[in-house]
Amino acid sequence: MNISRLKKALAKSWSRETSADPDKWSGKNPAWGQCAVTALVVQDYFGGELLRTAVETNGEKISHYWNKLPNGKEADLTRGQFAEETTVPEGEPRTREYVLSYPATARRYEILKKTVREKI
């Protein structure tokens, strides 16, 4: 498994059902609302840390997650959900347990994890 292959499987697996914001999710921006569950799936395959920050987009602040891989590189596979000029502030580590403590996130993660496994 490599990050490029996983990114392709994730992109094919994202849906309204796995988005934290299904009302704003669309096929034109499939990464929208997928960051926490995507970061969890990336961690399943590669380990490392989960990072979180608040990103300002369209006049509102929203939570954003991505990964710091064991080699120290950061992998933000849902960065494309934001406009190119959007600044993503430095992230703070979050535990897997914290992210999965939200029942809706845990449910969306299980759906995404299963769908990705089927696409790989």
22-28: average pLDDT = 95
pLDDT on residue 72:
96
pLDDT, mean over the chain: 96
pTM metric for this prediction: 0.95
Q: How many structural domains comprise the chain?
A: 1
Confidence of residue 102 (pLDDT cuts 50, 70, 90): very high
8: number of Cβ within 10 Å: 12
Buried b (16+ CB within 10 A) or exposed e, 35-50: bbbbbbbbbebbebbb
112 burial (CB, 10 Å; 0-12 / 13-18 / 19+) is buried
Check pLDDT > 90 for residue 111: yes
33 burial (CB, 10 Å; 0-12 / 13-18 / 19+) is buried
Range of the domain at 97: 3-119
Confidence of residue 23 (pLDDT cuts 50, 70, 90): very high
Confidence of residue 84 (pLDDT cuts 50, 70, 90): confident
Check pLDDT > 80 for residue 58: no
